[in-house]
Amino acid sequence: MTPRADDDPAAAHARTLLRTATRYSGLRCAALCLVSMAATGAGLLLPAALGRALDLLLAQAPATRWVLYCAGLVLLLALLDAAQTVLTGTVDARSAAWLRRRLTGHVLDVGPQAADRFGSGDLVARLVGNAAEAGTAPAARAALLAALAGPVGGVVALGLIDWWLAAVFLAGAPVLTFLLRAVARDTTESATRYQRAQGRIAAALAEAVEGVRTVRAAGTENRETARVLRPLAELSRAGHRMWRVQGRAAAQAVAVAPLLHLGVVAVAGVLLTRDRLSVGDVLAASRYAVLATGVGVLVGRLAGLARARAAARRLGEIETEPAPAYGVRRLPDGPGRLELRGVTARRGGRAVLDGVDLVVPGGTTLAVVGRSGTGKSLLAALAGRLADPDAGEVLLDGVPLRDLAHDDLRRAVGYAFARPALLGGTIEQAIGLGLPSPSPGRIREAARTALADDFVRRLPDGYDTPVADAPRSGGESQRLGLARAFAHGGRLLVLDDALSSLDTVTERRITDALLGDGPGATRLLVAHRTATAACADAVAWLDGGRVRAVGRHEELWRSTEYRAVFGEADGTACAGAGAGAEA
């Protein structure tokens, strides 16, 4: 669908999402439309059949056939109504599932920027609640034609009985049209506000759940509860407005529809006295007037469609966050030389990294150090294209990362983080995440390199223990994350503070493995301890968003300002001493 010029991007994406979701269940939507139209057609035939049967009975003529027609139409309506219910539920479920898959994939493609922009709680609310509401749009659209056909067919049937009946009804039709337009407009506005308030509550709740230990320790449960529920007043106002809109529409319909119905019946009565209509015609006209004034069904359909469109717009906002595009180039043979040329990266309107030039020769280990907020983790993310710079470029073995094919890039770069997310059903699956065909031998070798094999074997089912059932400390979680990075292999290994929860002895042993026969030709380590920096081939000292110096740790240690980064008086030796408890 081509976006209209006056549309904002979110609205254009929302229309595209709804169109594609409708196409995804196209056959079922077509069947629903046909069933709904058949039900409307049967409903339009029934008053005529009832009127004919009544006339024959009053005339004491044989009416069995028409009575059977009426019974058959009633049975057909019941069957069509059941089919319509089943098809509506099926289309709603399929559409919601498709939207969730599409948006979940997009969020994962975008990466951390999506959570930074919307917040994890709000994202979950959109992917769960809003996707379910937006998923009702295809079925609502499919049934909308039948909802419109009922009133239109009723007016046509009135005209076929006598044109005066249709003229009386059409005199009040503009009022009904105005009513429907107002309902759609006001419902969309109030539904948007309601869904936004829901998203804010979800975002605040996710933050509170993530920091539940901090909340308990500070004794601020009541304050956090109030913060989470602060948007509740706005939610209530939006919800009440939504019900007021629909209630007002229903009240107006109740006021207008009976007047039109009475007008049609009155005119039919006059025509009956003039022998222009039969008693059966009056009965049919009365029923057709009810169908023609049946704006209640139409109001409900339009209100539901308005809520679905408002929800789809919130999904469209997610799609306005662009996913990174990948190239088609393949990596040449090489040792894993990493180069940053004039890299600038902004976050929150601030240049966290500003014109960074840095070269990590293939097969070497570079430790990145600096005070908090100097951009160490952002540089680590740029090194493997978990984020893109706002200016400059990052190259691996001479190829810009933007030009690399997705699979080539992900095979070449392995990552370990300070707080690894252990995904997968079992410990073995968590370590082998991302490997096309992980072998048990490779998994266990990586675990031994990360010093994780011993505690994994002590688990109830060893490597087959479900991740959720594996009690572990922060240091043990980090070792599993390191094992996953080691199993991944590749020519570049990025450790973003991945040793921070380890005791000094374990950190030294893993560092020795990294610098000895560990996997990965080139290593980029975000370091906070002097022992880690001292073991690296070189250290890049970040300060104020720039690389202040690159050199050996013992050379940089002569600077008082460099020593202040670590806050230690002695830290030129590579070997760690002593053992502390893991976090």
Of 512, 489, 475, nearest to 443 by C-alpha is 489
Give 467's contacts (C-beta < 8 A, 6+ positions apart). 422, 423, 424, 425, 426, 427, 429, 430
**Over the range 67-79, which residues count as b (16 or more CB within 10 Å of their CB) and which as e?**
bebbeebeebbee
Q: How far apart are CA 529 and CA 515, in angstroms?
A: 16
Alpha-carbon distances of 89 from 16, 103, 139, 170, 301, rounded to whole Å:
22, 21, 8, 35, 15
Q: How many CB atoms lie within 10 A of CB 121?
A: 22
Q: How far apart are CA 294 and CA 559, in angstroms?
A: 83
> Which 3 state secondary structure label does DSSP give 331?
coil
Give the model's pLDDT for residue 296.
57
pTM of the model: 0.75
What are φ and ψ of residue 321, in 5° steps? Answer: -80, 110
Of 295, 284, 303, 283, nearest to 259 by C-alpha is 295
- DSSP annotation string for 554-579: HHHTTSHHHHHHHT-S----SS--S-
Give the model's pLDDT for residue 492.
92
Give 212's contacts (C-beta < 8 A, 6+ positions apart). none
Supply the angle between the helices 26-58 and 9-24 in degrees, to the nearest 10. 70
- For the chain, how are helix, strand and coil distributed in percent, rounded to 5? 65, 10, 25
Give the model's pLDDT for residue 401.
94
Classify the C-alpha dihedral 407-411-413-417 as positive or negative. positive
Q: Which residue has the tokens 């610098």?
A: 515
Kind of pairing between the strands at 391-396 and 365-370: unpaired
What are φ and ψ of residue 89, in 5° steps? Answer: -60, -40
Supply the angle between the helices 440-449 and 474-488 in degrees, to the nearest 10. 130
Listed in order, strand segments (DSSP E) in 51-197 are none
- DSSP annotation string for 167-217: HHHHHTHHHHHHHHHHHHHHHHHHHHHHHHHHHHHHHHHHHHHHTHHHHHH
Q: How far apart are CA 113 and CA 496, in angstroms?
A: 18
Give the model's pLDDT for residue 182.
64
Per-residue pLDDT of the chain (583 residues; tens, 9 = 90+): 444 444 578 889 999 999 999 999 999 999 999 999 999 999 999 999 999 998 888 888 888 999 999 999 999 999 999 999 999 999 999 999 999 999 999 988 888 788 778 888 888 888 888 899 899 999 988 888 888 888 888 888 888 888 888 888 777 666 666 666 666 666 667 777 777 787 778 777 777 777 777 777 777 778 888 888 888 888 788 777 777 776 666 666 666 667 777 788 888 888 888 888 888 888 888 888 887 776 656 666 777 888 888 889 989 999 998 888 899 999 998 889 999 999 999 887 889 999 999 999 998 999 999 988 888 999 999 999 988 999 999 999 999 999 999 989 988 998 888 888 888 788 898 888 888 887 888 999 988 888 888 888 988 888 898 888 888 888 888 888 888 888 888 899 998 887 777 777 777 777 777 776 444 579 999 988 888 888 889 999 999 889 999 999 999 999 999 988 887 655 656 654 433 334 3
Give the model's pLDDT for residue 187.
67
Per-residue tokens: 377: 């983790």
Give the model's pLDDT for residue 254.
60
The DSSP letter of residue 328 is -
Burial (CB < 10 A; 0-12, 13-18, 19+), residue 207, is: middle
Give the model's pLDDT for residue 306.
82
Q: In what order do the strands lie in the sheet with 522-526?
A: 413-417, 492-496, 522-526, 365-370, 538-543, 546-551
Give the model's pLDDT for residue 183.
63
> Which 3 state secondary structure label does DSSP give 263?
helix
C-beta of residue 142 within 8 angstroms of C-beta of residue 229: no
Kind of pairing between the strands at 350-360 and 338-347: antiparallel
Give the model's pLDDT for residue 339.
95
Of 152, 163, 150, nearest to 277 by C-alpha is 163
Give the model's pLDDT for residue 529.
83
**Over the range 424-448, which residues count as b (16 or more CB within 10 Å of their CB) and which as e?**
eebbbbbbbeebeebeeebbbbbbe
